[in-house]
Structure 1
Amino acid sequence: MLELGPDLPARTTAPAARTLGEMFFLRCARSASLPALHRKREGAWDPITWQGFLDGSAKVARGLLALGLGPGDRVAILGPTQPAWAIDDLGAQLAGMVSFGIYPKQSPEQVRYLLEHSEAKVVFVDEAEEIETVLAAAKGLKGLVAIVPWTMALYRRFEGRDPRLVPPTRFEGEALPERDIREIQERIDPEDTAILIYTSGTTGPPKGAMIAHRNILTILRSASEATNLRQSDLSLNFLPMAHAAERVLGFYGRVDAGIPAAYAQSTATVLDDLKSVAPTVFGSVPRIFEKAHAKIFSEIEKQKPAVQRLFAWANTVGKRRLEHMLAGRPVPARIAAQYAIADRLVFQRIRAAFGGRVRMMVTGAAPTAPAILEFFWAAGLPIYEAYGMTESTVVTHINREGAVKLGTVGRVIPPSEHRIAPDGEILVRGPWVFKGYLKNPQATEEMLEGGWLHTGDVGVIDGDGYLKITDRKKHLIITAGGKNLSPANIEKAIKEQDPLISQVHAHGDRRNYVAAIVAPSPIETLEWGIPRGLCTKEELDARQKELMANPSGRTEALNLAMAKVVAHPEFRERIRAAVRRGNEHLARVEQVRRFVILDRDFSQEQGELTPTMKVKRKEVEAKYASLLDRAYTEDGFALEP
């Protein structure tokens, strides 16, 4: 368990800075001897101080300038979320360059598009498989100056394959002097692009969102009040740095506030790292919380009836207490006494799985089921839902301490404004709306029409100013009868009925009723198959290890193992029952009349998921067109009346 700082308000540096590099420099001057980053080495967490962080980045900055790069040149980083990523990123910023991330596990074609479109001059890269990808992608790219492996071992392994391979030692020499750093930062206009963030590409090639220094600094100034960070806070980070939320709030937000971070050894070790680090703040995508919730409840199902009754009682007491807390009412003494018992017997154990010190968890990117939010809040693990998009520099709305309404994404963060267009689309404007898309003025004009950012999301603002997202505008289903339906609402109602369900894709545009594709959840499906002789514990462990290493990937071995389980009649009947229960929460016109079950989960390899686990709806519709057609014939799995 890592040591925490004093329990005092965080002292931010963004208000005094003009650029990201200046903010970083100010932070390091203020907190020089304090820990900034923790990495695990030889079984122990090894700290890097803010001064050490600055020294490393200043060496990278000097190395980039020595390669002939200048202000505004693009630097790409392809690697796991580790200190090297952070050091390279801020090294580029100190040198006055534009940095951007590339998601791991992309194809050579995808990586080539990003390098070519961005006109990247340098790409830092880790892992042999990723270097192979970059080498294939870089063929014929004349503008690319250097490919830099993170370690000398990797460099030696690939040395000679491409003359642009540069050893990492070129970035480990002398640091760029403070005088030079200050001169570079003074020449930067705050309106200049600081970073590029490429969208995940659910509707076509990724677009490069240009985020200015001013965009980032203004959101950090406003968000710091909403998140209420403390000097005693500590975070555990593992989400991809190519993602806007992890990059801006998770990383630059920590630099601004001076909050130390421990970097998980890998996605496979997150649960173990949570226990050994014991963070106080934890940001993640809803999928992690969904999986944790499903795992807890599946474990309870295996317990004796007495344990199940105790858990159910504790959950009920926790929700009763939560109702009073969220309403701002004193918790009645009787409920408080009951909760103290429930906490000692049940909830403390749940918090221990997250390290035992978490005081705040933040999530966004997709809605989280109210039942999951209520459960974690009741257990003393508050999850604050936030909302935003890459084009709004990550966040515009957030639930915050003392102002929480579950099922919404909170209120707009001042001085940003929001309104709902006549067609239901959410519009936003404010100082951290992005500059536009690189080399795409038409898309920029469409996105910023009328001076408002057109989010593409549909939602409602209640009387208290809380925003609720209902769906993506382009995803709305218009039935043959002219009814407008939200597929997200339908999918959520069914998905949350059973942990065996990973994804639901609702379909019904210009159809007489709604049908759906149901994709099973990998680990839960294999676990279900073990007692029925359809899967072995060894096979489960092997497939789980693969998934933890690459959460959005689905190997052929995993698909084959899942198919054996999914084919079992009892499995299909359980999914049928889940769909039936989900329908009970939907209006009649929304209810799924027929559905088909895939024998595997959606995957990135099959083009159905983005690197951030979002379903590519257009691709799914095209790929499974004939399967969806079956759902409107007797060949589909018809639900009982």
Structure 2
Amino acid sequence: MTEQLPLQRFQHWLEVAPERVWLRQPVDGVWHDVTWRQVDDQARRLASALQALGCQPGDRVALLAKNCAEWFVSDLAIMFAGLVSVPLYPLQSAESVAYVLEHAGCKAIILGKLDEPEKLETGIGPQVVRIAMPYPTLRADYQWHALLAAHEPLQQAHEQQGDELLSILYTSGTTGQPKGAMLSARAMAFAATNSVLEMKIGQHDRFFSYLPLSHAAERFLVQMNSLYSGASVAFVESLETFASDLRQVRPTVFFSVPRLWTRFQQGVLERLPAQRLDRLLRLPFIGTLVARKIRQGLGLGKARILVSGAASISPALLDWYRRLGMTLCEGYGMTENFAYGCFNRPGQVRLGSVGRPMPFLEMRLAENGEVQFRSPTLMQGYYREPALSAEALAGGWLHTGDKGEVDADGYLRITGRVKDIFKTSKGKYVAPAPIEGQIARNTWVEQVCLMGSNRDQPLALIELSPAARAEPRERIAADLQATLHGLNAELQPHERLSHLLLVRDSWTVDNGCMTPTMKIRRNVLETRYADLVAELPAEPSLHWEN
């Protein structure tokens, strides 16, 4: 496949398979199939409308919506009109929306499905033109069907250039304000072209899109990989229909994040307790049937590529899925390189690693262990942030901020963040990520955060899983004490945990404890629980937040 820019690739499918279905959208339980030709007609009409509303080439247009067919249509329309897309996370706060719209200077915003739209109303200033997709959403100046009907399809589409700015992807920011990574048409084209070839994704594959398209991973793995392979994409209608939609679609390529892989596991264990499942899986023939039934029940019976990314996943969880005949391929990338980093290819998975570099991607480790990348998928820089851009791309390499180790076969293992490592009061350094991974092997643990800067010993904050919250405290306490005892026996003296603090509230995007991409905000958690930690008894213990 010669490398084509996104609009050229779209034109390819329009010429070779105009009536084939690309997008599948459920509305009120009914599936609506949209062909390449229909996408073209809608996108060109919306492009005409955007131009008529005063958008000039290079102007920024924001997208604030949960995943749906119209999201893909809108993104193409923005390209057709020579504009720059600025995707927003559907779960972010009104303040964050306001910051991005102002920082990027967005002329218009296309609004779609949102869980609590009223919370975001104050984030959109009067100067931004509002267009509403055909779903319940925020107040808008223009409605989708009427706007498209009022404009003829754009005849002369913008001629895309490789180095032109295609999209500004704002990082969710575990600290400070989001930064806008500027990605070119060539960066996206290069990532998708090589990914489709490497993973052997073709026209007969099926994607299922539900993780935010504002995140580089979903945009790359699902939107761009489907555009470059010709595979179809089905969307989820709502949280309530998620399980049935997934079973209906039976995707062949499926991407999720560790927190959701944990949730799927918990759903299985609620119906089939762990000890009974273990017994059944050990039985010849019956174990195979049970595993197949679970895969089919999840809707993943046909999935040949199962991907986990966006955060680290525990080896115990990977092993649990492997026993069900589901090998999760862990990968690692960043917004700043359009998620085109390392990947465990199917059939070449090394558990505990994030795989080997993708084709034509150079990787090196700095003296302090920082992982650095160089490839044509690197961002052009952070929008309106020259100093931060120069720091992140010093020497032409992307400085990831993550520490790693590479084995003899080129597999990368992430060992933590360069800046997450903290020093105890004894002057010893502790890397939290490996220890957190060990604690997360306990299936009662939903999320964990190690803290201990300037303390004698580190301690772990633990959010329990929904299943654990329904169990007697004595049982949970005994299991976690056993985990703590076993872990401390393996750790260096300065790493041993003094306390496990079981927190009361869930860590969510809404309460600011997590980023929209499901990473914990360590600094927020340290501040939030500082008083509670200060009151802990001196002797080592397991402690419940009342």
1:505 pairs, out of 449, 455, 460, with: 449
- Partners of 2:48 and 2:469 in 1: CA distance: 51
Q: Secondary structure at the match of 1:492?
A: helix
1:524 pairs, out of 467, 481, 497, with: 467
Q: 1:476 to 1:16 in 2, by over 3 A?
A: closer
Post-superposition shift, 1:572?
4.2
Alignment of 1:253 onto 2:225? yes
Q: 1:596 to 1:341 in 2, by over 3 A?
A: closer
Alignment of 1:37 onto 2:9? no
Alignment of 1:215 onto 2:201? no
Residue pair 2:315, 2:441 contacting (<8 A) in 1 also: no
Post-superposition shift, 1:225?
2.3
Match of residue 552 from structure 1: none
Match of residue 318 from structure 2: 373
Q: 1:418 to 1:343 in 2, by over 3 A?
A: same
TM-score between the two structures when normalised by the length of structure 2? 0.93
Listed one character per residue, the Cα deviations across residues 205-246 of structure 1 (whole Å, up to 9, x for unaligned) are: 000000001111111122122211132211111111111111
- Partners of 1:128 and 1:31 in 2: CA distance: 33
- Partners of 2:114 and 2:297 in 1: CA distance: 33
1:605 pairs, out of 510, 531, 541, with: 510
TM-score between the two structures when normalised by the length of structure 1? 0.80
Alignment of 1:239 onto 2:211? yes
Match of residue 515 from structure 1: 459
Alignment of 1:93 onto 2:65? no
Match of residue 53 from structure 1: 39
Superposition pairs of residues 366-515 of structure 1, within 5 angstroms: 366-499=311-444, 501-515=445-459
Q: 1:103 to 1:92 in 2, by over 3 A?
A: same
Residue pair 1:498, 1:578 contacting (<8 A) in 2 also: no
Q: More helix per residue: 1 or 2?
A: 1
- Partners of 1:42 and 1:604 in 2: CA distance: 27
Structure 1 unmatched ranges of 5 or more: 1-11, 160-164, 315-337, 530-567
The alignment of Structure 1 onto Structure 2 pairs a total of residues equal to 542
Alignment of 1:79 onto 2:65? yes
Superposition pairs of residues 295-374 of structure 1, within 5 angstroms: 295-301=267-273, 307-308=276-277, 310-314=279-283, 338=284, 340-344=285-289, 346-355=290-299, 356-374=301-319
Name the % identity. Answer: 31
- Partners of 2:277 and 2:185 in 1: CA distance: 52
Listed one character per residue, the Cα deviations across residues 166-193 of structure 1 (whole Å, up to 9, x for unaligned) are: 2322234444344x01xx21xx431111
Post-superposition shift, 1:437?
0.2
- Partners of 1:438 and 1:220 in 2: CA distance: 23
Residue pair 1:72, 1:97 contacting (<8 A) in 2 also: yes
Larger Rg: 1
- Partners of 1:585 and 1:235 in 2: CA distance: 42
Q: 1:73 to 1:418 in 2, by over 3 A?
A: same
Q: 1:252 to 1:638 in 2, by over 3 A?
A: closer
Residue pair 1:595, 1:631 contacting (<8 A) in 2 also: no
Post-superposition shift, 1:149?
1.8
- Partners of 2:115 and 2:7 in 1: CA distance: 31
- Partners of 1:585 and 1:147 in 2: CA distance: 57
Residue pair 2:93, 2:510 contacting (<8 A) in 1 also: no
* Mean CA deviation greater in 461-470 or 480-489: 480-489
Q: Secondary structure at the match of 1:475?
A: coil
Post-superposition shift, 1:631?
3.7
Residue pair 2:314, 2:441 contacting (<8 A) in 1 also: yes
- Partners of 1:341 and 1:128 in 2: CA distance: 44
Match of residue 6 from structure 1: none
* Mean CA deviation greater in 250-259 or 282-291: 282-291
- Partners of 2:206 and 2:170 in 1: CA distance: 28
Post-superposition shift, 1:56?
1.2
- Partners of 1:226 and 1:582 in 2: CA distance: 39
AA aligned to 2:176 is: G
- Partners of 1:134 and 1:25 in 2: CA distance: 36
Residue pair 2:252, 2:304 contacting (<8 A) in 1 also: yes
Q: 1:519 to 1:16 in 2, by over 3 A?
A: closer
1:200 pairs, out of 172, 182, 185, with: 172
Residue pair 1:286, 1:364 contacting (<8 A) in 2 also: yes
Q: Secondary structure at the match of 1:148?
A: strand
Post-superposition shift, 1:257?
0.6
Residue pair 1:152, 1:167 contacting (<8 A) in 2 also: no
Residue pair 2:318, 2:351 contacting (<8 A) in 1 also: yes
* Mean CA deviation greater in 439-448 or 53-62: 53-62
Superposition pairs of residues 119-130 of structure 1, within 5 angstroms: 119-127=105-113
AA aligned to 1:310 is: R
Structure 2 unmatched ranges of 5 or more: none
- Partners of 2:293 and 2:136 in 1: CA distance: 42
AA aligned to 2:131 is: V
Q: Secondary structure at the match of 1:474?
A: coil
Alignment of 1:166 onto 2:111? no
- Partners of 1:395 and 1:368 in 2: CA distance: 18
Q: 1:261 to 1:129 in 2, by over 3 A?
A: closer
Residue pair 1:494, 1:581 contacting (<8 A) in 2 also: no
AA aligned to 1:354 is: L
Alignment RMSD: 2.4
AA aligned to 2:378 is: V
Residue pair 2:281, 2:291 contacting (<8 A) in 1 also: no
